[in-house]
Amino acid sequence: MDLGLKGKRAIICASSKGLGRACAMALAEAGCEVVINGRDAATLEATAKAIAEATGAHVIPIAADVGTPEGRKALLAALPEVDILVNNNGGPPPKDFRQLSHADMVAGVESNMITPIELIQGVIDGMVARKFGRIINITSGSVKMPLPQLDLSSGARAGLTAFVAGVARQVAGSNVTINSILPGAFLTDRLRTIAAGAAKAQGTTADAVLAARTKTIPAGRLGDPQEFGQLCAYLASAQAGYITSQNFLIDGGTFPGAF
């Protein structure tokens, strides 16, 4: 399917690896010029090279922490006009809510709610003026089904979800959409890190933790980041202009609900 994205310009945050990288690859395959981002310059450059070689796309790597004002400024300065924004950022490390300090809570909200909102502020008026814009927030399946010790991540991402629900309706008439993708268990570095932490606490191995997690997924497997990237590309497409303020759960059937 031609997604109608040839020549569009996209910023994908936190995209040197994991789900962000998968989104960048899928958008590049669809014909977009992509700005990718990460804090580790070597990893970022390797990703930029891999995407460019695989797709022929123009890839602009921006080594920066998207969670800082300087990092956000650098990302927004990389393109004269932004057609697609994919908000993504690492979540707070797992921690019992009793142990969360005030500084922990402020940092979590800054990272997973304020940062994407400020990036949306930076691109949305241009999108409205050009009558095309796609904003996709990568949140978490824990927004719908909270996970133990990820309360701060769940809360901040749920706050973002509520915030953009009203914004999306203000700009829908200008062919600007805002949607969220809620990943379940995908085989990424973050999942491996969480599994390693759980393994240490349980006196077992990370592989055993991941195997136990897999047994809870009706699909019988962990998610492939490429699947996630393809969903992101569709939501950014010309064909998805009538879809806005929706939350797409992609978790292999883990969430036990009908709605």
Distance CA 198, CA 218 (A): 22
- Please give the pLDDT value at position 93: 85
Q: What is residue 252's predicted lDDT score, i.e. its pLDDT?
A: 97
Q: Tell me, what's the pLDDT at 54?
A: 98
Please choose, from the candidates 149, 150, 133, the residue with its C-alpha nearest in 3D space to the C-alpha of residue 141. 150
Residues 6+ apart with CB under 8 A from 223: 183, 184, 185, 186, 187, 250, 251, 252
CATH number of 9-184+224-249: 3.40.50.720
What's the N-to-C CA distance of the chain in angstroms?
28
Residues of the chain with pLDDT under 70: none
Cα–Cα dist 37/78, whole Å: 11
Distance CA 159, CA 142 (A): 12
Q: Which residues contact 58 (CB under 8 A, 6 or more apart)?
A: 33, 34, 52
Alpha carbons 224 and 232: distance in angstroms, whole number: 13
Structure confidence at residue 156 (pLDDT):
96
- Give residue 92's pLDDT: 87
Q: Where are the domains of the chain?
A: 9-184+224-249, 187-222
Q: What is the pLDDT of residue 176?
A: 98
What's the pTM?
0.94
Phi, psi of 243 (to 5 degrees): -110, 115
